[in-house]
């Protein structure tokens, strides 16, 4: 059984394709591998605008690159300059392909809008449990996110009511 706003499709290589209704903040669509954190991101000081590398040693994603990823995180925090860091990432070709928030706030929203990066929010918090590398498709214009889920190593059934 799926939660409201989700559908489970069939896919031979995966447990299923979860389709989630979401809210468009910045239009467009993208697909790629998920890069997921349960920690908010302050783009100023956390992500190097030259390389797209997470440089804050205190952050869960330290040492990882956001370039071309579907960056899934609760929301932004910190300085409004973070919007311009997102813009710099885009101009240098090292920005995420799309961003997904539980609840977007103005810093990330403005950064995504001025950079032309798809951004959606109002997704279930269980999306933060998606494994890094999971294939994700974001269609912000239609308000749809799809995640191609694999069976977890601990044997849980991701189609259960307690996941998405």
Catalytic residue numbers, as ranges:
79
Report the alpha-carbon distance of residue 39 to residue 20 in Å, rounded. Answer: 21
Report the alpha-carbon distance of residue 61 to residue 56 in Å, rounded. Answer: 8
- The single-letter DSSP state of residue 65 is B
Pair 8, 43: CB distance under 8 Å: no
Pair 109, 92: CB distance under 8 Å: no
């Amino acid at each position: 059984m799926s939660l409201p706003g989700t559908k489970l499709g069939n896919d031979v290589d995966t447990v299923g394709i979860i389709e989630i209704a979401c809210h468009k903040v910045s239009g467009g669509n993208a697909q790629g591998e998920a890069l997921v954190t349960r920690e908010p991101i302050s783009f100023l000081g956390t992500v190097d605008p030259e390389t797209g590398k997470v440089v804050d040693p205190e952050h869960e994603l330290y040492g990882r690159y956001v370039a071309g990823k579907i960056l899934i995180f609760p929301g932004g925090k910190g300085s409004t300059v973070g919007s311009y860091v997102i813009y710099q990432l885009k101009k240098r070709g090292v920005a995420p392909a799309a961003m997904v928030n539980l609840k977007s706030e103005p810093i990330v929203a403005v950064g995504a809008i001025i950079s032309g990066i798809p951004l959606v929010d109002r997704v279930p918090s269980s999306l933060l449990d998606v494994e890094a590398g999971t294939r994700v498709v974001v269609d912000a214009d239609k308000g749809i996110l799809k995640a191609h889920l694999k069976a977890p190593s601990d044997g849980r059934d991701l189609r259960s009511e307690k996941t998405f």
